[in-house]
């Protein structure tokens, strides 16, 4: 039973009282509202690990094209499908997970080194655009593959190498390169990325490698494209042009990974299907003491606009080597949930760390505990107050569904949807109970994972000739699944959102029912009246085509 769904908000209670009354002895909900994204690499690339990760709650798998070949990613997709097939055979349930392709994006990179190079603080290093130095890098000079660097930079600019591990200060801009002083030293490696936080580089939004990777991703039928190094809304349009008609179903998630992107946050948010907060990348470009404010602001603005947002980087970083996270990481993850994250992205912890399954299990547990803290009453009111202008029926019904769930203390909002849009709209207003999206569209059953609290269920039965009967059968399917998953129990109020006729864009039907189940079976019955449903637990309907308020399903 969902802890957050069953906890009644006391009349006149406040957020402060709610926090004061948090009880650590109470069990958290076994159903997490926030989605988990896991990166697959050599540490987790096997059927058993992927199977265990799915069973412990991973919803989306990430393929990182910055580090691995297409052959490896093809193998990963095969293993994911094998794990899903195993789950289907064991449980009889069609489980879905989504796949995200993470592009490398346009990058400036160093060349190859002629031997080991360790840079110390105070050393001088020349970054040269002379191609002759490509494979002859040493402690004095290293090749960089961006000739225009000498025209865009100036004395005093900062420069990061290898994801911020090395920090340099530009002392002089020459005709063939930059003379830099090492501020933060370390080991220099081959083909390291170079970051210029104060400079807007003029590289194309889609590099040749990205183009190659995107073509592979479309053939692999991925659901999301995590776009690196997005600098403006125009870059999103360029990515959509590359995807074209064949890839129009792929959702573009723009990474907030640079100071330039941060300065154009609003336009990028409007153009993209969602945002990913890359804290590691941003941490090299803005003062580190401003990073937590940036997270709160970005998540708040995404929640306000109804855009899904992912928090990434250094989530449980210590689990790359240790079986338990640090206390500080536990607090940080909990605060990301409270700040309003839709998804949490695990990267190196599960990609190359020795404890991928344990990391997912720990993350799941921490998220569920953090969700106890959320004060849904004021959150819902704030989100509704920010809605401006005239709303369509689906948007209005989404607000009404969440309001009704709050008033009735519902344990589930059941949404019958074709495209997944109705479920996404309900998620925007942050109900305190799960949203079960029943859909026949396999792609919709995958992409809704990006929205907080949405639990997709793929319904594979053929549509009934009579639309009302088809609605009833899908509701039965959803409630039976919810019972098996222990989301609902006898007498629980359920809010149902559906369309008045078949097809997308017709959602305008809202009702409340009270579910109960026969003692020896999972078959679900429901009434519109709670008292009757609690009194009549052995009712049978002789005519299965009845259109009365009571329905019994096979």
Look up the CATH number of the domain holding residue 392: 3.40.1380.20
Q: Which helix (H) or strand (E) holds 458?
A: strand 454-458
Q: Are residues 508 and 401 in the same domain?
A: yes
Q: Are residues 325 and 437 in the same domain?
A: no
Residue 439 has pLDDT above 60, yes or no: yes
Predicted confidence band of residue 551 (pLDDT cuts 50, 70, 90): very low
Q: Which two tokens stand for residue 487?
A: 């989301």
Looking at residue 395, its pLDDT comes to 87
Residue 445 CA: distances (Å) to CA of 47, 59, 324, 419, 472: 22, 11, 33, 9, 20
Around Cβ 250, how many Cβ atoms within 10 Å?
Answer: 23
Q: Are residues 340 and 389 in the same domain?
A: no
Of the residues 349, 372, 395, which one is the last residue of a structural domain? 372
Closest Cα to residue 316, out of 305, 307, 306, 329? 329
Predicted confidence band of residue 44 (pLDDT cuts 50, 70, 90): very high
Contact between 143 and 133 under an 8 Å Cβ cutoff? The reply is yes
Predicted confidence band of residue 323 (pLDDT cuts 50, 70, 90): very high
Of the residues 195, 215, 248, which one is the last residue of a structural domain? 195
- State how far the Cα of 429 lies from the Cα of 403, in Å rounded to an integer: 9
DSSP 94: -
Looking at residue 144, its pLDDT comes to 95
Q: Are residues 234 and 101 in the same domain?
A: yes
Q: Is 59 inside any structural domain?
A: yes
- State how far the Cα of 395 lies from the Cα of 425, in Å rounded to an integer: 6
Q: Are residues 87 and 210 in the same domain?
A: yes
Q: Are residues 35 and 177 in the same domain?
A: no
Looking at residue 526, its pLDDT comes to 62
Number of domains in the chain: 3
Q: Are residues 363 and 415 in the same domain?
A: no
Of the residues 351, 372, 393, which one is the last residue of a structural domain? 372
Average pLDDT, the chain: 89
Looking at residue 387, its pLDDT comes to 86
Q: Are residues 189 and 116 in the same domain?
A: yes
pLDDT (mean) for 169-173: 95
The domain in which residue 131 lies consists of: 108-195
Predicted confidence band of residue 503 (pLDDT cuts 50, 70, 90): low
Looking at residue 549, its pLDDT comes to 30
Closest Cα to residue 404, out of 426, 382, 437? 426
Residue 471 has pLDDT above 60, yes or no: yes
């Amino acid at each position: 039973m969902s802890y957050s769904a069953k906890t009644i908000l006391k009349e006149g209670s406040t957020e402060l009282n709610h926090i004061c009354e948090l009880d650590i002895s109470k069990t958290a909900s076994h159903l997490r509202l926030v989605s988990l994204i896991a990166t697959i690499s050599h540490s987790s690339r096997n059927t058993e690990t992927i199977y265990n990760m799915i069973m412990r709650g991973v919803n989306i798998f990430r393929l990182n094209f910055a580090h691995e070949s297409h052959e490896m990613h093809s193998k990963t997709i095969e293993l994911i499908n094998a794990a899903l097939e195993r789950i289907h055979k064991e449980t009889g349930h069609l489980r879905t997970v989504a796949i995200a392709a993470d592009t490398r994006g346009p990058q400036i990179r160093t060349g190859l080194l002629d031997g080991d190079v360790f840079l110390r603080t105070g050393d001088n290093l020349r970054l040269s655009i002379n191609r002759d130095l490509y494979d002859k890098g040493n402690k004095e000079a290293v090749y960089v593959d961006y000739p225009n660097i000498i025209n865009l930079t100036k004395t005093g600019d900062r420069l990061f190498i290898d994801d911020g591990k090395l920090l340099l200060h530009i002392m002089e801009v020459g005709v063939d390169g930059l003379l830099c002083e090492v501020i933060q030293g370390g080991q220099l490696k081959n083909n390291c990325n170079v970051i210029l936080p104060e400079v807007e580089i003029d590289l194309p939004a889609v590099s040749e490698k990205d183009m190659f990777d995107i073509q592979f991703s479309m053939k692999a039928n991925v659901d999301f494209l995590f776009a690196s190094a997005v600098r403006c809304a125009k870059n999103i349009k360029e990515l959509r042009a590359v995807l074209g008609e064949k890839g129009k179903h792929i959702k573009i998630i723009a990474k907030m990974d640079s100071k330039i992107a941060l300065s154009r946050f609003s336009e990028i948010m409007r153009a993209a299907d969602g945002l990913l907060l890359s804290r590691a990348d941003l941490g090299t470009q803005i003062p580190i003491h401003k990073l937590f404010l940036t997270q709160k602001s970005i998540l708040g603005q995404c929640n306000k606009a109804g855009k899904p947002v992912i928090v990434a980087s250094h989530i449980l970083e210590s689990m790359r080597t240790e079986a338990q996270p640090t206390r500080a990481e536990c607090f940080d993850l909990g605060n990301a949930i409270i700040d309003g994250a839709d998804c949490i992205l695990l990267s190196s912890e599960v990609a190359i760390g020795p404890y991928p399954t344990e990391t997912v299990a720990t993350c799941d547990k921490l998220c569920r505990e953090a969700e106890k803290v959320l004060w849904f009453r004021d959150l819902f009111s704030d989100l509704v107050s920010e809605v401006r202008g005239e709303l369509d029926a689906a948007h209005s019904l989404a607000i009404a569904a969440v309001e009704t769930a709050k008033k009735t203390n519902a344990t589930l909002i059941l949404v019958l949807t074709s495209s997944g849009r109705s479920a996404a709209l309900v998620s925007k207003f942050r109900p305190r109970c799960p949203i079960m999206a029943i859909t026949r569209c396999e792609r919709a059953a995958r992409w809704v994972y990006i929205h907080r609290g949405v639990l997709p269920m793929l319904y594979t039965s053929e549509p009934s000739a009579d639309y009302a009967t088809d609605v009833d059968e899908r509701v039965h399917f959803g409630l039976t699944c919810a019972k098996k998953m222990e989301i609902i129990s006898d007498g629980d109020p359920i809010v149902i959102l559906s369309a008045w006729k078949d097809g997308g864009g017709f959602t305008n039907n809202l009702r409340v029912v009270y579910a109960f189940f026969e003692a020896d079976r999972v078959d679900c019955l429901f009434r519109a009246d709670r008292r009757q449903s609690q009194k009549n637990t052995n009712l049978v309907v002789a005519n299965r085509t009845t259109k009365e308020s009571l329905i019994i399903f096979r």
